[in-house]
């Protein structure tokens, strides 16, 4: 089993930046593609990004493309989400996920983190 623990959320002004971290337990971290989802108030859960097991490739949802960067350090069992040029519409709970397969479907998520709140003020 893999436990995912997010950190780094908080309050930031529009145009600012935040870096989220996701620490994974266990030795199997490298076996999973990973990613981030988010859920804003009154909205459905939304795909943010995904990254391959090795970190060699990544993919982003249209709403964050060009502003967010996902990376992972398998030696540290940690994944990161660097968020820049934040907008109020980025306000959401952000969830770290371990994926069964490398796709963007929420049904494909094997493990969910507890979520961390990101609030962007205008």
Q: pLDDT at position 1, please? A: 81
Identify the pLDDT of residue 27: 66
Q: What is the average pLDDT value for the chain, to the nearest integer?
A: 95
Render pLDDT for 1-44 as a digit per residue (tens, 0 to 9).
889 999 999 999 999 999 999 999 876 777 899 999 999 999 99
Q: Using alpha carbons, select from 37, 20, 39 the residue that is nearest to residue 79.
A: 20
Flag the least confident range among 1-5, 52-56, 90-94, 116-120. 1-5
What's residue 33's pLDDT? 95
């Amino acid at each position: 089993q893999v436990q995912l623990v997010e950190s780094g959320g908080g309050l930031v002004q529009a145009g600012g930046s935040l870096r989220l971290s996701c620490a994974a337990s266990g030795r199997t971290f490298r076996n999973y593609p990973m990613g981030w989802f988010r859920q804003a108030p009154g909205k459905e859960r939304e795909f943010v990004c995904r990254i391959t097991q090795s970190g060699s490739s990544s993919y982003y949802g249209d709403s964050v493309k060009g502003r967010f960067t996902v990376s992972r350090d398998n030696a540290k069992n940690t994944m990161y989400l660097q968020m820049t040029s934040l907008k109020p519409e980025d306000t959401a709970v952000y969830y770290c996920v371990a994926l069964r397969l490398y796709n963007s479907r929420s049904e494909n998520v094997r493990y969910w983190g507890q979520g961390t709140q990101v609030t962007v003020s205008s």
